[in-house]
Amino acid sequence: MGQAAIIDGKGFAEGLRARVADCAAAFTHKAGRKAGLAVVLVGEDPASQVYVRSKGKQTVACGMASFEHTLPADADEAQLLGVVDRLNRDPAVDGILVQLPLPAHMDEQKVIAAINPDKDVDGFHVVNVGRLATGLPGFVPCTPLGCIMLLQHTLGSLAGLNAVVIGRSNIVGKPMAQLLLAQSCTVTIAHSRTRDLSEVVRRADIVVAAVGRPDMVKADWLKPGATVIDVGINRVPGAEAGKTRLVGDVDFASASTVAGAITPVPGGVGPMTIAVLLRNTIVAAHRNAGLAFDESAL
């Protein structure tokens, strides 16, 4: 076998952000205001702070308004719900994102349920989950939607292909399976209890790995020519003492000698997540303003 084609998520994300920026400029012209994304951060988790800063910068770079609300780690749940309620009622805010994870004393499901589903650009609200499952317009979690965009860009039509999703989380695995099903794939959700996991994966034309186990999927798990989407982001010890490096759930070095196309880590799925968040926000802005919009343009 030769080397797999590298699926350039970073490049695709740049193109998507450019399209969002064009749509955002047109929205501002038509609506007389900028589309707005509000991000709420509770506590001082360093990784979450980095994500929030990046989201804010990219929102502004796309010509949208960024609203950041920070609460201390010891804030009570009622305070957070109060912030969400104000954002629900604020006409300048089209999308609301509460950065997860929340402190242990807060009920994540309760907080997500408090967000207006039409402003839930993360796609986690049970109403949007139901809309996805039944094929109705809603908002889809950003990472799996980014994965489906990369797959369609790489393969064109996905109809009739066998797809295996490794992982059953509400954030990636389950919505990923729904999206693949909507594209007429034959879908298997595999997980830690799946028997003969490698055999199940070996039947797949499309493999989406989202389990959080470094280098779990090996070359001999793959059908030759399969398209591999690696959602994993795992920190492992680097070559130098005290240093770490990022790896995915797929053993990239070996898998890339068997796969037909594969996403790298970093530079594959990761950049798509914020780009799709911005895409969801501009979609929400048009819907909230009652403006016609061709969502396929994104």
Q: Which of 59, 3, 56 is nearest to 35 (CA)?
A: 59
Query: Tokens 């989201």, residue?
Result: 55
User: 């349920």: which residue's tokens?
Assistant: 113
Catalytic residue among 8, 94, 99, 205: 99
Do 13 and 272 form a contact (C-beta atoms < 8 A)? Answer: yes
Catalytic option among 8, 122, 230, 251: 122
User: Any catalytic annotation for residue 122?
Assistant: yes
Question: What whole-number distance in Å separates Cα of residue 164 and Cα of residue 178?
Answer: 12
What is each CA distance from 161 to 185, 201, 209, in whole angstroms? 5, 13, 16
Residues 6+ apart with CB under 8 A from 117: 125, 127, 128, 138, 139
Beta bridge partners of residue 5, listed in sequence order: 261
Residue 94 annotated among the catalytic residues of the structure: no
Cβ–Cβ contacts within 10 Å for residue 289, how many?
16
Question: How far is C-alpha 291 from the geometric centre of its chain's CA atoms?
Answer: 25
Q: Are 231 and 265 in contact (CB under 8 A)?
A: no
How many Å is the maximal CA-CA distance in the chain?
58
Rounded Cα distance between 174 and 192, Å, is 14
Q: Which of 55, 119, 174, 223 is catalytic?
A: 55
Q: Which residues are catalytic?
A: 55, 99, 122
